[in-house]
């Protein structure tokens, strides 16, 4: 594994040949000990990766980055947990944008990373709360790197290799990702909430663009993403109505 150029994220790197899920492994670690902040659990073979709200994350063995980072964002109240989501999503966006500088790299709410109209990365953040703060967080990240063939169930996948034709040494990418994560996490810790809010909107997929959405009940409507609520809901101005707020899985983009 390559040398980390960070203060704490990735200084402890627990790499495994294969794990069912790096997030599950991180949960088990936290249940029985207190790993140092920034501990990274990684594997290049993860058959049971998870996405948002019960969805699966498909990853061909030895082709992609799948890792989890353990953080202790006790400086955040439970109501500020979406600020952490923004910081992580922007960090991963910076990482991807550095590798595919010729492309538009966006964050699709809440935290998928898109190159053009194609998904290249998924993020799953699991928070553990105590009464008035976030106690611990597991940040799970899956980046499509060298995979070029995907199952038909995945609607619009891409990978770094599909975007720029290069094949990557997976282990060499981990330090770069850790650097970006640490930089954004330290910005968050310094209280730069307004900057993060502005940058998130600046890179938000389809922000202020006329978009066809579908509600959970199947109804479709035209609207424009107008912002993000403090609790992380997607705010959409409906063409023939006012502004509405949506939670994860209550709305999807059709066009």
Output the pLDDT for position 47.
Answer: 77
Q: Which residue has the tokens 């992609």?
A: 64
Q: pTM of the entire structure? A: 0.95
3-class DSSP assignment, residue 66: strand
The 10s digit of each residue's pLDDT in 163-181 is 999 999 999 999 999 999 9
DSSP letter, residue 2: P
pLDDT 10s digits, 91-121: 999 999 999 999 999 999 999 999 999 999 9
CA distance 215 to 253: 9
Indicate if the pLDDT at residue 57 is higher than 80: no
Q: How far apart are CA 163 and CA 159, in angstroms?
A: 6
């Amino acid at each position: 594994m390559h040398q980390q150029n960070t203060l704490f994220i990735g200084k402890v790197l627990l790499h495994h040949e294969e794990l069912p899920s790096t997030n599950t492994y991180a949960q088990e670690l936290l249940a029985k000990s207190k790993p140092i902040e920034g501990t990274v659990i990684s594997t290049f073979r993860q058959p049971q990766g998870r996405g948002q709200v019960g969805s699966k994350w498909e990853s061909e063995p030895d082709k992609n980055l799948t890792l989890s980072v353990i953080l202790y964002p006790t400086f955040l109240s439970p109501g500020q947990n979406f600020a952490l989501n923004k910081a992580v999503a922007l960090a991963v966006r910076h990482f991807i944008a550095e590798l595919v500088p010729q492309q538009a790299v966006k964050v699709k709410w809440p935290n998928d990373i898109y190159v053009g109209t194609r998904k290249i990365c998924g993020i799953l953040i699991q928070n553990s709360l105590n009464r008035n703060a976030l106690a611990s967080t597991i940040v799970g990240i899956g980046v499509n790197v060298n995979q070029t063939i995907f199952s038909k169930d995945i609607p619009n996948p891409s990978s770094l290799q599909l975007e720029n034709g290069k094949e990557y040494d997976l282990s060499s990418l981990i330090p770069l990702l850790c650097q970006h994560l640490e930089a954004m996490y330290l910005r968050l810790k310094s209280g730069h909430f307004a900057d993060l809010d502005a940058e998130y909107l600046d890179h938000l997929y389809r922000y202020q663009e006329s978009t066809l959405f579908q509600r959970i009940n199947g109804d479709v409507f035209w609207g424009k993403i107008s912002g993000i609520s403090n609790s992380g809901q997607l705010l959409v101005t409906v063409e023939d109505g006012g502004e509405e707020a949506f939670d994860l899985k209550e709305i999807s983009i059709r066009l």
